[in-house]
Amino acid sequence: MYKFFKRGADILISLLGLIILSPVLAITALCIKIDSKGSVIFKQKRLGKDGKVFEILKFRSMCVGAEHTGSGVYSGKGDARVTKVGKFIRATSIDELPQLVNILKGDMSIIGPRPPLTYHPWPLEDYSDEQRHMFDVRPGVTGWAQVNGRKDVEWNRRIELNVWYTRNISFILDLKIFFISIFKVLKNADNENTTETAAQAQAQKKETVSR
C-alpha cells in the first residue's frame, strides 16, 4: 500500500518543487550558460528500477567532455574539470534539482537507492542475485546509503545498504532519510569521492565477477 502512496507523493512533491523552485532553476541555468560553454543540462545513462536504463538529468557542473578525461566518472576535491558555478551547485546539491523531472516522469523517486552508471561500478550482469534487489524499487535522489556515508562508502557496502532499504521500505524510514539528507546537504558532508573509493570499486568488480 505504501508504494502506491509513495508514487503519488513523488508526483505531487516534484511538481510543486518544479513550480516553487523555478526561479532557482532559471538563475542556475543562466549562470551555467554564462560561466562555460556547453549545454546547461547534463544527461547520463543510469540503471533504474528492474535494471532498466534511463537518462538522469543534472545541471552541468563540469566542462564539456569531462567524463572522458582526468579521473573519468570520479570527481575528487580540487578537480580542475569542475567549473566555478559547478563548485557551488555541487556543494549545495542544486545540480541535482533537474531530477525532479526524472521523478515526475517515473524514472526516479525522491527516496531510493542512488542509480548507478550502466557500466560502473560494474555492468548489470555482474551484480550478484542478492545485489540486484537494489533495483526492486525506483532509484532516488537520496537514499539509505547516502545518509550512511554517501560517497565515502565503498561500493559493496553501498549496495548492501541499498538492498536493506528495498526490504525495509516504509514511510517512517523515508521520512528519516529525507531529514538526514537535508542536514547532510547543509553541512556538505561526505560529498567528495575519494581515491580509495574509486580503487575499491575496481577491486570489488573483479571479486564479484570471479564468484
Say which amino acid occupies 57. Answer: L
Cα angle: 25, vertex 140, 165; to 5 degrees: 155
> Quick one: pLDDT at residue 84?
92
Q: How far apart are CA 101 and CA 126, in angstroms?
A: 29
Phi, psi of 10 (to 5 degrees): -60, -45
Q: Which residues contact 209 (CB under 8 A, 6 or more apart)?
A: 122, 126
Cα angle: 45, vertex 162, 158; to 5 degrees: 80
> Quick one: pLDDT at residue 10?
97
Q: Which residues contact 189 (CB under 8 A, 6 or more apart)?
A: 150
If you write DSSP's letter for every residue of 189-210 in order, what string do you get?
TT-S--HHHHHHHHHHHHHHHT
pTM for the full predicted model: 0.84
pLDDT at 210 over 50: no
Average pLDDT over residues 102-109: 97
pLDDT in tens, 47-62: 999 999 999 999 999 8
Say which amino acid occupies 208. Answer: T
pLDDT in tens, 169-187: 999 999 999 999 998 888 8
Handedness of CA 15, 61, 193, 130 (dihedral sign): positive
Q: How far apart are CA 204 and CA 109, in angstroms?
A: 27
Cα angle: 206, vertex 207, 211; to 5 degrees: 115
Q: How far apart are CA 103 and CA 139, in angstroms?
A: 9
3-class SS at 111? strand
Say which amino acid occupies 150. Answer: R
> Is there a contact between 99 and 56 (Cβ–Cβ < 8 Å)?
yes
pLDDT band at 209, cuts 50/70/90?
very low
Hey, what's the cell of 60? Answer: 552541468
